[in-house]
């Protein structure tokens, strides 16, 4: 049993058995979020003494002292479990809890669970109830998308979000790093992209060391960083620092001065993309890369005589989706050669075994149909459509995120297995560091339980409500500005502004 490769096919399975000194109590644990697969707890409770408490590696564990992930996690979880540790507590206990996991990633999830089991009585003493847990995620891909192009998010805001993601057992940070409004990624190969495409060339960029910091912070929390460089649409900001990359739009027979999607007819485009993606795939260690491919507006391509001539030459007729497919095929070839698996938004029609599709559009009826159709074609899919969390409404909209049934579409068991997970999307039109955290949490936590827990055990939204309320107070206690679900209070309210 060892720390295996990050992410992909490892199923972090773990069980947690706590055996400490017995002491009866009436306290009932509010529970763990997301709900573990199998959970038995009794009212027997054991006091925890911060002075005597420590995390240790089991003798038979493949990971031992100097395992960077667990050493860091022990330190982190100690202060999460004992937030106001003072040294005048009595020493009582001498028991042990054990946590077994196949990989360090499972151990991280187990530590999170353990930390949620600990509570304080009115006099400040820490307790944990006798508990046995056997747990694993329902879906292997549980992501959050942040959009750093429509508003720049300071690195601190990203790191804080990664912390909160780990508390809800999310494991993928989908970094929608660039888009039309700005290009904050500072490329080694093409520094002009950010020096002219970012909102500000010095203060509103992610340097290479910023990116490394995000990746290593995420790794320590067991979170993958999946970068998205969306093309050929959503690339206005790219054009500022890379001339001839975008298609010049025409009005009649003269260029109008505006630009459209990436120009798919020039060989220089693909040379540029090959170099950019070569850099990106070495900077981001994850084996997946998101290539976007959504919402390509054909009107500019249509206006451009060179593009039309190319269409003719290729025999595409007037079907610009063929041109789009031609372009995406070439980009997928570039990233495949770099040994990356590509994820694309569902708009890319040219189904391809090498890519995974990201479902983002439509009503429940239409996305279910899409799931059915795409899995039938053997495609692996990722569901985001019901979790566009940037859309806000008055009241408890988390209930809608909670009651999603990702596998409730018509298809065989084999088809269902092709749904590898889901993603909560926080698009940035109306979101920056001022309101990101309260808008994301605890609404995203509702989706987290749907993606982690057993659907039958978590079918009641009313039963989830008090647990989620309790969990949001835990988030607040940990310094996350998680907003309230409804009237009520937390023992420790948020003390910032």
Dihedral of alpha carbons 337, 339, 344, 349, sign: positive
Which residue of 44, 71, 132, 432 would you call a contact of other proteins, by CB under 8 A? 432
| Binding residue (CB under 8 A) for other proteins from 40, 430, 459, 466 | 430
CB of 426 to other proteins, least distance (A): 13
Residue 464 or 482 with smaller CB distance to other proteins: 482
Own/partner long-range contacts of 246-249 (Cβ < 8 Å, ≥24 apart) = 247/300, 247/301, 247/304, 247/307, 248/304, 249/299, 249/300, 249/303, 249/304
Please say whether the beta carbons of 169 and 34 come within 8 A. Answer: yes
Quickly tell me which residue has 């708009």 as its tokens. 347
Please work out the total of residues on this chain that contact other proteins, with binding judged by CB under 8 A: 46
117-176 positions binding other proteins, by CB under 8 A: 150-152, 154, 156-157, 160
E-strand ranges in 137-274 read 141-147, 172-176, 224-228, 246-251, 254-262
* Token pair in block for residue 204: 């509103």
Minimal distance in Å, beta carbon 429 to other proteins? 5
First and final CA of the chain: distance in angstroms?
A: 46
Round to whole Å and give the CA distance between 241 and 192: 5
Among 438, 454, 457, 467, binds other proteins (CB under 8 A): 438
Q: Which of residues 365-424 bind other proteins (CB under 8 A)?
A: 390-395
Q: What distances in angstroms separate CA 209 from CA 185, 191, 283, one per listed residue? A: 11, 14, 10
Residue 237 or residue 342: which is nearer to other proteins going by CB?
237
Residue 462 CB, nearest distance to other proteins (Å)? 18
Question: Cα(160)–Cα(18) distance, rounded to whole angstroms?
Answer: 30
Minimal distance in Å, beta carbon 97 to other proteins? 31
CB closer to other proteins out of 182 and 415:
182
Q: Of the two residues 319 and 493, which places its CB atom closer to other proteins in the complex?
A: 493
Specify whether the CB–CB gap between 43 and 26 falls below 8 A.
Answer: yes
In the set 44, 295, 324, 423, the catalytic residue is 295
Instruction: Enter the DSSP assignment of 382.
Output: E
Instruction: Please state, in angstroms and rounded to a whole number, the distance separating the CA atoms of residues 57 and 70.
Output: 9
Decide whether 101 or 482 has the Cβ nearer to other proteins: 482
- Please, which of residues 204-243 interact with other proteins by CB under 8 A? 204
Interface of this chain with other proteins, residues 285 to 314, rule: CB under 8 A:
none
Concerning whether 295 is annotated as a catalytic residue, the answer is yes
Name the helix (H) or strand (E) containing 425.
Answer: strand 419-426
- Determine if 489 is a binding residue for other proteins (CB under 8 A): yes
- Which of residues 24, 26, 94, 487 is near other proteins by CB under 8 A? 487
Return the DSSP state at 198: S
Q: Is 9 in the site for other proteins (CB under 8 A)?
A: no
User: Does 83 interact with other proteins (rule: CB under 8 A)?
Assistant: no
Name the site residues for other proteins (rule: CB under 8 A): 150-152, 154, 156-157, 160, 181-182, 199-200, 203-204, 390-395, 428-435, 437-439, 476, 481-489, 491, 493-497
Catalytic residue list: 295
């Amino acid at each position: 049993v060892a720390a295996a490769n990050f992410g992909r096919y490892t199923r972090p399975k773990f069980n947690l058995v706590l055996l400490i000194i017995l002491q009866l109590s009436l306290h009932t644990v509010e529970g763990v979020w997301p709900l573990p697969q199998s959970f038995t707890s009794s009212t027997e409770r054991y006091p925890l003494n911060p002075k005597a408490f420590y995390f240790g590696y089991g003798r038979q564990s493949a990971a031992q002292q100097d395992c960077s992930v667990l050493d860091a996690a022990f330190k982190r979880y100690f202060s999460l479990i004992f937030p106001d540790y003072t040294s005048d507590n009595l020493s009582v206990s001498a028991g042990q809890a054990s946590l077994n996991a196949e990989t360090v990633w499972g151990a991280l999830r187990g530590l999170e669970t353990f930390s949620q089991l600990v509570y304080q009585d009115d006099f400040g003493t820490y307790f944990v109830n006798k508990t046995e847990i056997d747990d694993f995620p329902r879906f292997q891909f549980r992501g959050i998308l942040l959009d750093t192009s429509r508003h720049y998010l300071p690195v601190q805001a990203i790191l804080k979000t990664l912390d909160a993601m780990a508390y809800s057992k999310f494991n993928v940070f989908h970094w929608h790093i660039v888009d039309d409004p700005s290009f904050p990624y500072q490329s080694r190969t093409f520094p002009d992209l950010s020096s002219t495409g970012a909102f500000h060339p010095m203060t509103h960029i992610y340097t290479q060391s910023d990116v490394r910091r995000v990746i290593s912070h995420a790794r320590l929390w067991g979170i993958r960083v999946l970068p998205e460089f969306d093309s050929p649409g959503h690339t206005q900001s790219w054009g500022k620092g890379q001339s001839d990359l975008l298609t010049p739009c025409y009005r009649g027979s003269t260029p109008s001065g505006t630009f459209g999607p990436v120009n798919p007819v020039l060989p220089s485009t693909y040379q540029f993309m090959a170099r950019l993606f070569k850099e990106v795939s070495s900077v981001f260690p994850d084996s997946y890369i998101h290539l976007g491919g959504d919402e390509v507006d054909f009107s500019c391509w249509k206006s451009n005589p060179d593009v039309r001539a190319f269409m003719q030459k290729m025999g595409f007729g007037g079907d610009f989706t063929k041109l789009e497919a031609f372009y995406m095929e070439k980009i997928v070839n570039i990233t495949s050669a770099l040994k990356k698996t590509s994820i694309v938004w569902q708009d890319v029609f040219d189904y391809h075994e090498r890519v995974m599709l990201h479902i983002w559009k439509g009503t429940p009826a239409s996305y279910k149909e899409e799931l059915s159709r795409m899995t039938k074609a053997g495609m692996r899919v990722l569901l985001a459509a019901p979790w566009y969390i940037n859309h806000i409404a008055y009241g408890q909209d988390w209930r809608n995120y909670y009651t999603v049934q990702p596998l409730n579409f018509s298809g065989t068991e084999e088809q269902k297995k092709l749904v590898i997970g889901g993603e909560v999307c926080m698009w940035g039109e109306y979101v920056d560091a001022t309101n990101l955290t309260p808008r994301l949490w605890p609404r995203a936590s509702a989706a987290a339980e749907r993606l982690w827990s057993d659907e039958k055990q978590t079918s009641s939204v009313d039963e989830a409500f008090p647990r989620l309320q309790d969990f949001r107070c835990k988030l607040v206690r940990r310094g996350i500005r998680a907003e309230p679900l409804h009237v009520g209070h937390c023992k420790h309210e948020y003390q910032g502004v």
